[in-house]
A and B are shown apart, each in its own frame.
Chain A
Amino acid sequence: MLFFLETVISGLMAGVMYSLVALGFVLIFKASGIFNFAQGVFALFAGLALYDFIAEDGWFYDLFGFALPVWLGIIATMGVMVIVAWLVERLVLRHLVNQEPIILFMSTIGLAYFLEGVGDILFGSDVKPLDIGLPQGASDYLLDNYNLYVEKLEVVAAVVAAVLVIVLAIFFQKTRIGRALRAVADDHQAALSVGISLRTIWVIVWSVSGFVALVAGIMWGSKSGIQFSLSLIALKALPVLILGGFTSVPGAIIGGLIIGVGEKVAEVYAGPFVGGAIENWFAYMLALVFLLIRPQGLFGEKIIERV
């Protein structure tokens, strides 16, 4: 029973990570209808940039002889992500307005290739342990009192994710920009006609999802170092999106948790019977079966088709 609980908890924690990446997807999809495959690479890129601002063997240290404190490093990285967002809008999106979704999707794969190449050239491609002072190791409290093994870092990640979702929800619901974002999400043309600048909105959305990517990058980086495999996490976020629906923020969170737990439980309990390593495809199968029952996802709305 205890083992099962630990499996579930570790699944939940992995799920939080998936949710974080999926969240970035949902934000961009809502505002621009683009399925941003580069979201995983964003997390990688942000992690790499942050590392180079704050680590002793980073670029920044080489150039100026000192490394930035963590908080300043995060702000600087955020600046980098805003610049990336601006460039993406300026160089890619602006020229692809009104194209079909598949074209936009492919352009984000191109973007992913590009950023990956740039990241490798600028920051090198070896694994980098990111240490920004987040607590490491097992939680003594849970281990002593309940005999449960839970990583402190994972608890922090869960808390951060929760805070992030709340902040985003407030941002979307209460601010002027949030309202504009929702308007754009509903209908580009209508939003334009009431004087909302699509370009500004896109830069903002891509910046926000850059921010989410940064958080995801920090969490993954602290856990297992910043490495190339981080960019593949984008693929893991896809079944999460299917479960939750492409446009739903709570859907991304709950979908991520379900996938995380389902995957872990399946791997531990069903994996040994079929040769293991089913983690790779289980999530997709789960999403697929789910889709057949409910094609619009957990939180999507049922579409009445008209002619």
Chain B
Amino acid sequence: MTYERTIGDTILAVDQISLSFGGVKALSDISFSVREHEVFAIIGPNGAGKSSMLNCINGFYHPQEGTITFKGKTRRQVRPSEAARDGIARTFQNIALFSGMSTLDNIMTGRNTKMNKGLFWQAIRVGPAEKEEMAHRAVVEKVIDFLEIEAIRKTAVGTLPYGLQKRVELGRALAAEPDLLLLDEPMAGMNLEEKQDMCRFILDVNDEFGTTIVLIEHDMGVVMDISDRVVVLDYGKKLAEGTPDEVRTNQDVIDAYLGVSHGEDE
């Protein structure tokens, strides 16, 4: 594995984001930036606002204050579907697969935004629509191949074990060929082996496709190993930002977070 990545310019800049539900402040005044080809981790205790942060980035929540700049486009309110079309894909903390569909169909939905044959051609199918479908099927098969899930291609995802579902979900996100991949606790509830597999996939995606990755993860070992930079949130506020080593030695972080949970992790 070659490990020569060129970290590029800022692809995503989060600027003074504040988000509240009713009177509850979920995020206050958060700023950070993510550079191209980077693996960027957001960590923090439960309820720190990590998932809310991701939800803001891809437009599911609309922050009351602050702006988000993605690929040079600054926006405050964006519809999730438009964010996805701009090149932001994500996976979810609680698996959000389309349980009634097969693995193949689930991953194919990831390609939906790239397909454009209309209803009429779809109804006839023979001809342009079929050609388009086959071309995208070929791309999806590459993703399936990459994630080593060939055997479950035609299985309904509802019946798959947890670890595989997570993998299919990653596949669906990858099929969209995103510029920015948001992973919400990709390794939660996995055993060691599955975690290692997932780490490998994440690094490979980053490496081979050059995809920028923002991830939330509770497993400190994983975070410190695979991420280039880390931001720490606590109670909706930013505690620290920097390389894993910098964050590890930051006194605030140790007090708020690592100091408490370190004993459990090791």
Contacts and interface: CB of A to CB of B under 8 A. Distances in A.
Tell me, yes or no, whether A and B come into direct contact in the complex with CB atoms closer than 8 A.
yes
Interface of A: 304-307
A305 B93 CA distance: 14
A307 B60 contact: yes
What DSSP secondary structure best describes chain A's contact surface? Answer: loop
B93 A307 contact: yes
A173 to B, nearest CB: 26
A304 B92 contact: no
A307 B21 contact: no
B232 to A, nearest CB: 22
A304 B52 CA distance: 12
A306 B60 CA distance: 9
Nearest to B52: A306
B17 to A, nearest CB: 18
Interface of B: 21, 51, 55, 60, 92-94, 96, 184
A304 B93 contact: no
A307 B51 CA distance: 8
A304 B21 CA distance: 9
11 contacts: A304-B21, A305-B60, A306-B51, A307-B51, A307-B55, A307-B60, A307-B92, A307-B93, A307-B94, A307-B96, A307-B184
Nearest to B184: A307
Given A305-B60, A307-B60, A307-B94, 8 more contacts: A304-B21, A306-B51, A307-B51, A307-B55, A307-B92, A307-B93, A307-B96, A307-B184
Contacts of A304: 21
Contacts of B96: 307
Nearest to A304: B21
Nearest to A302: B22
A122 B229 CA distance: 77
A307 B21 CA distance: 15
Contacts of B21: 304
Nearest to A306: B51
A305 B184 CA distance: 16
Contacts of B94: 307
A305 to B, nearest CB: 8
Contacts of A305: 60
A143 to B, nearest CB: 52
A118 B60 CA distance: 51
Contacts of A307: 51, 55, 60, 92-94, 96, 184
Contacts of B55: 307
Nearest to A307: B92
A167 B55 CA distance: 45
A307 B60 CA distance: 9
Q: Considering residues A304, A305, A306, A307, which has the most beta carbons from chain B within 10 angstroms of its beta carbon? A: A307
Contacts of B51: 306-307
A305 B94 CA distance: 13
The 6 closest A-B CB pairs, nearest first, are A307-B92, A304-B21, A307-B96, A307-B60, A307-B55, A307-B93
